Amino acid sequence: MNFLAHCALADDASNTWPAGEDMRQGLLAGAILADFGKGPVPTSMPNALQTGIRLHRRIDAFSNQQTAIREVCATFPANLRRYAPIFLDILGDYYLSKSWDLYYEEPRHIFSQRCYAACVEFRDSLQGNSSLQLGKFLSYMRETDLLANYDEWQHVERGLHSVLRRLGQETLSQEVKEAAIAQRDTGEAAFRIYFADLRSQLPHWSALATTHEGSQS
């Protein structure tokens, strides 16, 4: 899952879990901040943010095992398949943005502002280079209102290019764009399957709100 889907699932969790409402901001922030730090979740972080990061990681682990996702990844050209799950994450935000009203009553542009506010509330919990990277990315998200505008294909292409740059695989740019365009109108059916699967799992993961790092991650 990418940023919009992670945030949507975090908000779903806050509505589903017994203690979710009390930690809603941390769950929303963790949906984004989790991508700006690796390794054990620091126990110095507020508990709500720790829980948000653990939920983000649980979602990623579960989605990596989903049959629908694996089947879609297998349709990518052979030389792109090792990276296909990352590309599919970005496409997932495109599909969710297009079909947002099927899942949620709150308009995307209002939801997105809640997510940015949650990140601002907890951004000082990150240190060093991670904090600098988050600050730059958060500025970009707010300037473009990225979470509300993932249905604009330019954001998908920019996200794909960013991934390739981090991987040192920019020579694949044109091929990846073509593969993404091939998925653009055919991949939404699979997205609806695996997104529904993830939403159905959330009530079973409420223990993440009380589980300390070391027994769950």
Who's near 95: CB < 8 A, 6+ residues apart?
Answer: 187, 188, 191, 192, 195
Q: What is the pLDDT of residues 129-174, one digit of tens each?
A: 788 888 899 999 999 999 999 999 999 999 999 999 999 999 999 9
| 140/38: higher pLDDT | 140
Return the DSSP state at 215: T
Whole-number average pLDDT of the chain: 91
Q: What is the pLDDT of residues 188-212, one digit of tens each?
A: 998 999 999 999 999 999 999 875 4
Closest CA to 2 of 130, 75, 97: 97
Separation between Cα atoms, residue 167 and residue 152, nearest integer Å: 24
For residue 73, give both structure tokens.
């990844």
Q: Is the pLDDT of residue 97 over 70?
A: yes
Q: Is the pLDDT of residue 214 over 70?
A: no
In order of 9, 21, 26, 57, 89, the CA distances from 18 in angstroms are: 15, 8, 15, 20, 28
Closest CA to 199 of 73, 68, 69, 59: 59
| 67/217: higher pLDDT | 67
